[in-house]
A and B are shown apart, each in its own frame.
Chain A
Amino acid sequence: MASMRDIKRRKSSVQSTQQITKAMKLVSTVKLQRAKGRAEKSKTYFNCMYDTVVSMLSKAGDINHPFLKPNDSPKKAVIVITANRGLAGGYNSNIIKLVRDNEWNKDDLIIYPIGSKGRDTFTRLGYEMGEDYSDAIEEPIYADAMTISNRVLSDFAAGKVGEIYIVYTGFKNTVTHIPTRLKLLPIKIEDERSNEDKAVLDFEPETEDAIDLIIPKYITSLIYGAMIEAVASENGARMQAMDNATNNAEEMISSLSLLYNRARQGAITQELTEIIAGAQAIS
C-alpha cells in the first residue's frame, strides 16, 4: 500500500487540477452565452440574405456567371475553422477528421486555416496551405470574414481553385455540435418554393452585375456565420469537456480519500500493535 504522504500529495494535485477545470468551465460558460447571443442577433441578417440570394438565383437560372459554374481547376479551397486552444474534447479532432477522411484527394486541397490547431495539424500532415487567419477566431468580426472571402474569391476568379468549401462545427444547441462541410462556390441553391410564391424582383444594376456584387456579400455572411457558430460550439465543447474533467476529479478525490483513511487506520493499528508488543516484552 502506498504511504500516507504519497496519497496525500496525489490528492492535493488532483484537487488543484479540479480547481483549474472548474474555473475553465465557468469561463467557457460565460463565453458560450455571449457567443449564443451574437448568433441570435445575426440570424435576421442571414435569413434576409438567404432569401434574397435564393430569389435572385431562381430568376437568374440561365445566366452563365462564373460564380455559378465550376472552372477547370481541380483544386479545392477549404476554409477550416478550428480553435486556437485545445482542451475542448473532440472539437478540433472532429473537424480534422472531416477534412481528412472523405473522398477528397489530399493533393487537390488548399487549406485556409482559421484556428491554429487545424493549421498546425494540416501543416504537419503535409497539406498545401493557403493564408492563415487564426487570429480571426479569437473574436469574430465581420471585417475579418470580409478579408477571408475576398481572398478565396480572388483565388477562384484567378482560376487557382475550382471549388470553395468551408468546414466548421455547426451549433445546434449547447450539447449538440455538428461538424459541417458546406460548399460555398460554385453556388447551387435548390429553390423549393413554387413559382407563385416567388417575389418578382428587379435588379438595379442588371442581374449579372448584381450577382457580381451580392454573391461576395453572401459568401462573406456565410463565413461570418460559420465563425460565430464555431466559436459557440468551441465554448460549448470546452464546457462539456471541463465538466467531465471536474466530475472525474471529484471521483478520483473521493477514492483517494478512502485510500488515505484506510492507510491512516492501518498506520494507527500498526503503531498500537507495536506499543502493546513492546509493553508485553518488558513486563
Chain B
Amino acid sequence: MAEKLKLTIVTPDREFFSDEVDMVEFNTTEGEIGIYKGHAPLTVIVKPGILTVTQGETVRNAALHAGFVQILPEEVTILAEIVEWPGEIDEARAISAKERAEKRLSDKGSIDVARAEAALMRSIARINTAKLK
C-alpha cells in the first residue's frame, strides 16, 4: 500500500476530520478527482457530491457541498462550507428539497434557476450519501 497522506477537513464551525488516510476522492468543478500521496500541488473548487475517505480497509463517506481544496504532496486541506457525515443527514428533508428544486426548475420563468440547480445538486448529494450509510 502506498504511503499515507494527511487529510484535514475544516468548516467554519469545527474541525470535521483530521487523520492520515490512503486516498481521498471528491467532486470538483472539473470532474471527479482521487488523490494519493505525492499529488502535484493544486487548488480545486468543490462541487456538491460524495466525499470518500479510504483508510486501509475502512471507507468512509460524507456529503461535501461547497468549498475548495488545497492539495500538496504530503497533505490535503479541504476548506468546506458544508460537509456532513451520513448520520447527520436528514434524508426525508433532502428528498423533499430535491422535489422542490425539481419543481422549480420545471416551472419555466422561474426566478432563480442557478439557485434551484444548486439546491438540486446538494439534495442529490445528500440522498446518495445517506444511502451509502
Binding site for B on A (CB under 8 A): 38, 41-42, 44-45, 48-49, 52, 56, 142, 145-146, 199-205, 210, 213-214, 217, 220-221, 224
- 12 A–B contacts, CB within 8 A, in A order: A45-B79, A48-B10, A49-B79, A52-B43, A142-B11, A142-B13, A199-B72, A204-B29, A204-B30, A210-B45, A221-B12, A224-B12
Partner of B12, one of A42, A52, A204, A213: A42
In the complex, which residue of chain B has the Cβ closest to the Cβ of A212? Answer: B45
Task: Point out the residues of chain A lying under 8 angstroms from B15, CB to CB.
Answer: 41, 44
Query: Which of A45, A145, A199, A205 is within 8 Å of B11, CB to CB?
Result: A45
- Check B43–A202 contact: CB distance below 8 A: yes
Q: Decide: A142 and B81 in contact? CB cutoff 8 A.
A: yes
| A56-B43 contact, Cβ under 8 Å, with A204-B28, A204-B30, A217-B81 | yes
Cα separation A251 to B40 with both chains bound (whole Å): 68
Closest B residue, CB atoms, query A46: B12
CA distance A214 to B68 in the complex (A): 8
CB-CB contacts of B1-18 with A at 8 A, as 1s and 0s? 000000010111111000
Q: Chain A's nearest CB lies how many Å from the CB of B4? A: 20
B43 touches A201 (CB 8 A): yes
CB of B64 to closest CB in A, whole Å:
14
Chain A contacts for B81, CB-based, 8 A: 142, 146, 217, 220
A146–B12 Cα distance when bound, in Å, is: 12
Task: Give the contact-size bracket for chain B.
Answer: 20 to 34
A39 to B12, CA, bound (A): 9
Contact B29 A203 (CB under 8 A): no
The listed residue (A38, A202, A214, A224) touching B41 by CB distance below 8 A is: A202
B42 is contacted by which of A49, A203, A221 (Cβ under 8 Å)?
Answer: A203
B128 at the interface (CB under 8 A from A): no
One digit per residue, 1 when the CB lies within 8 angstroms of any chain A CB and 0 when it does not, for chain B 71-88 equals 010000101010000000
- When the two chains form their complex, are residues A45 and B43 in contact, meaning their CB atoms are under 8 A apart? no
Nearest chain B residue, comparing its CB with the CB of A52: B70
CA distance A205 to B72 in the complex (A): 17
- The answer to whether B10 and A44 touch across the interface, beta carbons within 8 angstroms, is yes
Question: Does the CB pair B12–A201 fall under 8 Å?
Answer: no
**Across-interface contacts of A52 in B (CB, < 8 A):** 43, 68, 70, 79
B105 at the interface (CB under 8 A from A): no
- How far apart are B32's CB and chain A's nearest CB, in angstroms? 12
New A-B pairs, 19, CB < 8 Å, besides A41-B14, A48-B10, A205-B29: A38-B13, A44-B8, A44-B10, A45-B11, A45-B12, A48-B70, A49-B79, A142-B11, A142-B12, A201-B42, A201-B70, A202-B43, A203-B44, A204-B28, A204-B44, A205-B45, A213-B45, A214-B43, A214-B45
* Cβ distance B65 to chain A, nearest Cβ, rounded Å: 12
Which chain A residue has the least Cβ–Cβ distance from B40?
Answer: A202
Chain B residues whose CB sits within 8 angstroms of the CB of A205 once the complex forms: 29-30, 45
Q: How far, in angstroms, from A141 to B93 measured CA to CA in the complex? A: 20
**A residues within 8 A CB of B11?**
45, 142
Distance between Cα atoms of A86 and B10 in the complex (Å): 34
